């Protein structure tokens, strides 16, 4: 090893405490980056692999009914590698005496020969026998049942029937049941008959033979199958082509990982700032040594190499620490995402390219960060470097700002001294403030986004004045429903609504909700125009989701809408705000009543009590009374259940932001500690002078602590000023990307207070050690320091 390398290592060794701090800070950044990168590699590989292993359908076609002969004909198409019929039936399920849960039943003809969209049996019976039901693994918690339980199931047209929960399956393609608050069940055709439904299959899953990831090709093949079906007298009502080869949640995963990657890079950037600070200080303290090296023949590049060597050491040490941390972090992240997306990770193996990239980024970052201080430090002319007297090279008092600071302070006190001192190394101050303020900003943004999410949901649910929504499989006479309501205790208000499909053109379908114009159970916030009111006949209100989907729709315009088979003319009278809602148009119920007098297919109920148990009792009682009237509910959901689902989705964003702020805050704290220790080191002789003229160790200690606290408070002020706009942007971006909805922003003042306390604590903690060291240095040591 040559002497310059020895110098590089020993210089760091002599300042090992500070070196460790900077290595830790960089390691934090690289660990965050490595965790996200590895999680990205694992998740994208495992998610799509797991999904592709199920042989997902290339396209799903809905027809009246499908039989084996039809399947055989479809399979004659060379482009179709497989075709399999299924059926999806909605209904309700309950495990205990009360509390019906929404149920989606998947009916498969032959569980022994599932070739498309395969299920993975996990425990218990396989296939399900007649009278048995398998439940998706994540749905057990929703169903509140376990294997071996008897559950009661009812579908739209059948009767209540007890089924045995005989096993657990994993259906990779389904969303997490807990978040959707729905039970996924799997039965055979004979069980479907037991439930009182007709034993037919109406959903055709096909897989194309070639170009499986080519959407255009799939569309073409699906079109050919459609033509064949219709030529045989089986009209196709709907075709769904899922994104080829992609798990339904892969987009969401991508957005989350993108957000996390940005964060990883951001933390890396912040830790780079610490390298800039450390090396700037190191270079400043070694100006004379640089001069000597130049004087004895060292070229600028030879000297720069010593300091680049130190930056390289920082990078290598940080990478060594970061890789195991990153692997652990990526596992935690993968497990969390896998739970959220309901899929299994078979291998946590991190691809080699991730390690390589982490090593390259980890080593390159400190080198890049070090480039400027090294360039600057080695540029000092030899004569200037040799005459450097080692300390306090900054000239305080040279500009108007310094003079202003001087005017601010009265008589000498540690506080006045601290205020002036923090502005001596301005570049360092700015970089330190940047890291500390970033921590505060993220923390406040986390609280603000959370508060805004809650506010948005509160307003959204506040607009819905009903506690329970019941949907029917078919339209029923209102008079029968009214009787059931009258016989049910605890209902204070009820309205019959009618939901149907509307379309501007054949491919632009959306939900049309017909409701009483004087509805008391919906009070939407209007962005433009007004809501429906008595006397309206052809008035239509659109929500913001529909306006976003069809930008041509504007308040005041008249449009032609196809509802059912008839076309009618409507005037858009208002634009309503509905967070996280599908595209909906609201029209007067009278319009539907003219076509189907006295009929309704959906019920909205306000209850006297809206606690969980009371709602359950009302649901159970109403269901019984509706059955007595011959009315079959397809499903029901309380506001509380729906809200729970939303809260679960939002919790993830909140946790992400809080974890983020904790990591950024830690980098900030390490940055402050580094800054304070550099400040103390550089002013050691000055402190010796202070001690020589009578300052006690306590005063010196107080001075340094005050300086740290001032920086903390300054960082808090910056974070507080930026918290509002940054929180709004972060909130809109995250929530908007995930749920395609805006945020009703609200500022959380608690965040300001909490971060002030955190800032003060972090600053005090960060400056404690440097302050203590400064106060313990003897006058002789301090004055002799170069």
Interface residues with other proteins (CB under 8 A) are 2-4, 6-7, 10-11, 13-14, 288-289, 292-302, 381-383, 386
> What is the Cβ-side half-sphere exposure of residue 526, based on CA atoms within 13 angstroms?
13
What SS3 state is found at 174?
coil
Residue closer to other proteins, measured from CB, 320 or 384: 384
Which ranges in 587-628 belong to alpha helices (H)?
A: 589-595, 612-628
- DSSP string covering 647-679: HHHHHHHHHHHHHHHHHHHHHHHHHHHHHHHHH
In angstroms, what is the minimal distance from the CB of 286 to other proteins?
9
- Tell me which residue of 246, 672, 770 sits closest to 431, measured CA to CA: 672
CA–chain centroid gap for 131, Å, is 40
Residue closer to other proteins, measured from CB, 6 or 376: 6
- Tell me which residue of 665, 766, 663, 749 sits closest to 710, measured CA to CA: 766
In angstroms, what is the minimal distance from the CB of 390 to other proteins?
11
DSSP state, residue 629: T
Residue closer to other proteins, measured from CB, 314 or 700: 314
- Cα–Cα distance between 612 and 606 in angstroms, integer? 14
- Cα–Cα distance between 111 and 124 in angstroms, integer? 14
Residue closer to other proteins, measured from CB, 2 or 411: 2
In angstroms, what is the minimal distance from the CB of 376 to other proteins?
15
Residue 387's contacts (CB-CB under 8 Å, 6 or more residues apart) are: none
Residue closer to other proteins, measured from CB, 15 or 536: 15
End-to-end Cα distance, the chain? 28
- Cα–Cα distance between 482 and 497 in angstroms, integer? 13
In angstroms, what is the minimal distance from the CB of 282 to other proteins?
12
Residue 256: count of CB within 10 angstroms of its CB: 25
**Residue spans of beta strands (DSSP E) within 534-627:** 539-543, 558-563, 566-577, 584-588, 599-607
- Cα–Cα distance between 627 and 267 in angstroms, integer? 60
Residue closer to other proteins, measured from CB, 15 or 138: 15
In angstroms, what is the minimal distance from the CB of 6 to other proteins?
6
**How many residues belong to the chain?**
786
CA–chain centroid gap for 373, Å, is 38
- Cα–Cα distance between 133 and 93 in angstroms, integer? 11
Residue closer to other proteins, measured from CB, 2 or 237: 2
**And the tokens for 565?**
């088979």
Q: Which residue has the tokens 């179709």?
A: 80
In angstroms, what is the minimal distance from the CB of 392 to other proteins?
17
Residue closer to other proteins, measured from CB, 7 or 226: 7
Residue closer to other proteins, measured from CB, 13 or 412: 13
In angstroms, what is the minimal distance from the CB of 299 to other proteins?
5
- Cα–Cα distance between 455 and 431 in angstroms, integer? 35
Peptide bond just before 18 cis, omega within 30 deg: no
- Cα–Cα distance between 448 and 429 in angstroms, integer? 27
In angstroms, what is the minimal distance from the CB of 687 to other proteins?
20
Residue 749: count of CB within 10 angstroms of its CB: 12
In angstroms, what is the minimal distance from the CB of 17 to other proteins?
16
In angstroms, what is the minimal distance from the CB of 346 to other proteins?
52
Q: Are 215 and 241 in contact (CB under 8 A)?
A: yes
In angstroms, what is the minimal distance from the CB of 682 to other proteins?
16
DSSP state, residue 112: G
Residue closer to other proteins, measured from CB, 397 or 749: 397
Residue closer to other proteins, measured from CB, 382 or 640: 382
In angstroms, what is the minimal distance from the CB of 283 to other proteins?
15
Residue closer to other proteins, measured from CB, 293 or 318: 293
> H or E segment at 471?
strand 468-477
Residue closer to other proteins, measured from CB, 264 or 688: 688
Q: Which residues make beta-bridge pairs with 468? A: 605, 638
In angstroms, what is the minimal distance from the CB of 288 to other proteins?
7
Residue closer to other proteins, measured from CB, 164 or 382: 382
Q: Which residue has the tokens 């969980």?
A: 612
CA distances (Å), origin 12, targets 29, 279, 306, 307, 361: 21, 11, 11, 10, 22
In angstroms, what is the minimal distance from the CB of 375 to other proteins?
13
In angstroms, what is the minimal distance from the CB of 273 to other proteins?
26
What SS3 state is found at 126?
coil
Q: Compute φ and ψ for 530, nearest 5 degrees.
A: -140, 170
In angstroms, what is the minimal distance from the CB of 424 to other proteins?
19
Q: Are 158 and 196 in contact (CB under 8 A)?
A: yes
Residue closer to other proteins, measured from CB, 394 or 560: 394
Q: Are 604 and 521 in contact (CB under 8 A)?
A: yes
- Cα–Cα distance between 16 and 38 in angstroms, integer? 31
In angstroms, what is the minimal distance from the CB of 421 to other proteins?
23
- Cα–Cα distance between 257 and 251 in angstroms, integer? 10
> H or E segment at 161?
strand 161-170
What SS3 state is found at 84?
strand
**And the tokens for 588?**
């007067």
Residue closer to other proteins, measured from CB, 6 or 393: 6
In angstroms, what is the minimal distance from the CB of 394 to other proteins?
15
Residue closer to other proteins, measured from CB, 5 or 62: 5
- Tell me which residue of 676, 659, 680, 703 sits closest to 782, measured CA to CA: 680
Residue closer to other proteins, measured from CB, 397 or 582: 397
């Amino acid at each position: 090893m040559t002497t310059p390398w020895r110098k590089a290592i020993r210089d760091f060794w002599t300042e090992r405490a500070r070196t460790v701090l900077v290595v830790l800070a960089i390691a934090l950044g690289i660990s965050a980056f490595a965790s996200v990168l590895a999680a990205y590699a694992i998740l994208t590989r495992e998610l799509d692999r797991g999904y592709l292993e199920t042989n997902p359908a290339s396209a799903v076609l809905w027809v009246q009914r499908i039989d084996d002969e039809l399947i055989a004909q479809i399979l004659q198409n060379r482009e179709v590698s497989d075709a399999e019929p299924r059926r999806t039936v909605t209904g309700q399920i309950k495990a205990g005496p009360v509390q019906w849960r929404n149920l989606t039943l998947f009916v498969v003809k032959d569980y022994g020969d599932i070739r498309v969209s395969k299920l993975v049996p996990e425990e218990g019976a396989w296939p399900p026998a007649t009278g048995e039901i398998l439940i998706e693994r994540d749905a057990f918690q929703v169903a509140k049942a376990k294997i071996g339980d008897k559950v009661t199931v009812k579908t739209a047209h059948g009767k209540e029937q007890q089924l045995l929960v005989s096993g657990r399956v994993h259906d990779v393609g389904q969303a997490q049941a807990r978040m959707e608050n729905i039970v996924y069940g799997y039965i055979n055709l004979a069980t479907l008959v037991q439930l009182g439904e007709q034993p037919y299959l109406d959903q055709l899953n096909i897989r194309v033979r070639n170009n499986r990831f080519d959407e255009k090709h799939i569309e073409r093949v699906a079109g050919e199958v459609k033509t064949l079906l219709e030529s045989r007298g089986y009209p196709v009502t709907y075709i769904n082509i899922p994104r080829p080869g992609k798990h339904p949640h892969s987009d969401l995963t991508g957005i989350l990982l993108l957000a996390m990657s940005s964060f990883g890079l951001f933390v890396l950037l912040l830790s780079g700032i610490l390298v800039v600070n450390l090396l700037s200080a190191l270079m400043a303290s070694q100006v004379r040594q640089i001069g000597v090296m130049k004087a004895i023949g060292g070229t600028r590049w030879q000297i720069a190499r010593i300091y680049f060597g130190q930056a390289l050491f920082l990078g290598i040490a940080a990478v060594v620490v970061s890789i195991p941390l990153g692997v652990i972090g990526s596992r935690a992240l993968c497990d969390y995402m896998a739970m959220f997306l309901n899929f299994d990770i078979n291998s946590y193996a991190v691809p080699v390219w991730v390690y390589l990239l982490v090593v390259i980024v980890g080593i390159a970052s400190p080198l890049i960060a070090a480039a400027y201080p090294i360039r600057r430090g080695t540029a000092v002319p030899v004569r200037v470097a040799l005459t450097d007297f080692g300390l306090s090279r900054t000239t305080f008092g040279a500009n108007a700002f310094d003079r202003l600071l001087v005017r601010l302070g009265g008589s000498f006190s540690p506080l006045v001294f601290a205020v002036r001192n923090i502005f001596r190394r301005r570049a360092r101050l700015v970089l330190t403030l940047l890291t500390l303020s970033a921590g505060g900003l993220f923390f406040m943004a986390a609280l603000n986004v959370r508060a805004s999410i809650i506010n948005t949901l509160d307003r959204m649910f506040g607009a819905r004045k009903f506690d329970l929504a019941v949907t029917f499989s078919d339209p029923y006479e209102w008079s029968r429903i009214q009787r059931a309501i009258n016989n049910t205790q605890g209902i204070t208000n009820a309205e019959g609504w009618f939901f149907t499909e509307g379309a501007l053109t054949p491919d632009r379908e959306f939900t049309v909700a017909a409701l009483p114009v004087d509805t008391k159970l919906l009070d939407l916030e209007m962005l433009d125009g007004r809501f429906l009111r008595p006397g309206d006949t052809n008035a239509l209100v659109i929500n913001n989701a529909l306006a976003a989907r069809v930008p041509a729709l504007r308040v005041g315009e008249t449009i032609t809408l196809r509802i059912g088979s008839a076309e009618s003319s409507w005037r858009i009278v208002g634009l309503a705000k509905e967070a996280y809602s599908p595209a909906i148009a609201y029209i007067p119920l009278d319009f539907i009543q003219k076509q189907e007098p006295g009929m309704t297919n959906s019920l909205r109920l306000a209850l006297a009590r809206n606690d969980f148990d009371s709602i359950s009792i009302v649901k159970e009682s109403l269901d019984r009374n509706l059955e007595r009237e011959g009315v079959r509910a397809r499903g029901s959901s309380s506001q509380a259940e729906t809200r729970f689902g939303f809260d679960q989705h939002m919790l993830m964003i909140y946790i992400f932001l809080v974890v983020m702020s904790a990591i950024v805050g830690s980098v900030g704290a390490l940055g402050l500690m580094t800054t304070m220790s550099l400040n103390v080191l550089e002013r050691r002789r000055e402190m010796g002078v202070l001690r020589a003229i009578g300052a006690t160790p306590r005063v010196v200690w107080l001075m340094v602590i005050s300086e740290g606290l001032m920086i903390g408070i300054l960082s808090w002020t910056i974070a507080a000023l930026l918290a509002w706009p940054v929180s709004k942007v972060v909130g809109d971006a995250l929530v908007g990307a995930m749920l395609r909805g805006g945020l009703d922003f609200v500022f959380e003042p608690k965040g300001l207070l909490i971060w002030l306390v955190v800032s003060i604590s972090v600053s005090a903690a960060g400056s404690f050690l440097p302050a203590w060291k400064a106060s313990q240095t003897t006058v002789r040591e301090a004055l002799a320091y170069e």
